[in-house]
């Protein structure tokens, strides 16, 4: 048999069943009314990440060298409001790339075409890279259009 309570409850019973008031605003299952006008307001766009080119990073590094008294946050703010066009990057990205600045400068000296690249390419077969470069230059001199089918045709004819 369950024991009977001999002492009265110490807490008063609640008058309402809800512990707190719900948030104001539309409920999740509410549908927009049909008599409401359409709006031209757009949803905020998610911030897209944009990588800087090698030339952009070298510009940032040169500015940092010529202004050693500025902090990294000040460098980021300066390039975000530049007249020539903003370069948007974070302080963390700047710090990571500043640590690899020697590698960036060597890459720019070794491969001038890499200045417009956003990502460092690692060449595993320099002989194939050189042959491809020479073939492409030859196709440009002959004023031929370089397409996937042209590449396939050249490879097929070489056999």
pLDDT in tens, 51-65: 888 889 999 999 999
Q: Which residue has the higher pLDDT, 138 or 8?
A: 138
Q: Is residue 10 part of a domain?
A: no
Q: Is 45 contained in some domain?
A: no
Are 109 and 136 found together in one domain? no
Q: Is residue 98 part of a domain?
A: yes
Locate 155 and state its tokens.
Answer: 């490879």
Task: Find the domain containing 138 and state its range.
Answer: 123-159
Task: Judge if 65 and 89 occupy the same domain.
Answer: yes
In a domain, 26, yes or no: no
Q: Are residues 99 and 114 in the same domain?
A: yes
pLDDT of residue 43: 53
Split into its structural domains, the chain has a count of 2
pLDDT digits (tens, 9 = 90+) for 13-29: 667 666 666 677 666 66
Q: Are residues 106 and 144 in the same domain?
A: no
Is residue 75 in some structural domain? yes
More confident residue, 15 or 41: 15
Q: Are residues 106 and 130 in the same domain?
A: no
Q: Are residues 59 and 91 in the same domain?
A: yes
pLDDT at 41: 47
pLDDT digits (tens, 9 = 90+) for 109-157: 887 777 888 877 777 888 888 888 888 888 889 888 777 777 777 767 7
**pLDDT band per the 50, 70, 90 thresholds, residue 87:** confident
For residue 42, pLDDT beyond 70 = no
Whether the CB-CB separation of 91 and 76 falls below 8 Å is answered with yes
Cβ atoms within 10 A of the Cβ of 77, count? Answer: 12
Question: CA torsion, points 114, 120, 123, 126, in degrees to nearest 10?
Answer: 20
Would the pTM count as exceeding 0.75?
A: no
Of 116, 114, 149, 115, nearest to 133 by C-alpha is 114
Of 91, 59, 86, whose CA–CA distance to 75 is shortest?
Answer: 91
Asked if residue 39 is part of any domain, the answer here is no
Question: Is residue 30 situated within a structural domain?
Answer: no
Which pLDDT value is given to residue 129?
Answer: 82
């Amino acid at each position: 048999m369950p024991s009977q309570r001999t002492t009265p409850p110490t807490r008063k019973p609640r008058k309402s069943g809800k512990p707190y008031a719900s948030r104001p605003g539309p409920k999740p299952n509410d549908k927009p009314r049909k008599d409401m006008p359409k709006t031209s307001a757009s949803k905020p766009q998610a911030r897209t990440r944009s990588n800087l080119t090698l030339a952009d990073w070298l510009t940032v590094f040169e500015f940092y060298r010529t202004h050693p008294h500025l902090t990294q946050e000040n460098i980021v703010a300066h390039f975000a409001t530049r007249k020539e066009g903003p370069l948007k990057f974070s302080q963390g990205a700047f710090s990571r790339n500043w640590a690899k600045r020697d590698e960036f400068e060597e890459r720019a000296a070794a491969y001038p075409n890499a200045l417009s690249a956003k990502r460092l390419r690692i060449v595993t077969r320099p002989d194939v890279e050189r042959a491809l470069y020479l073939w492409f230059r030859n196709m440009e001199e002959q004023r031929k259009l370089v397409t996937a089918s042209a590449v396939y045709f050249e490879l097929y004819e070489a056999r």
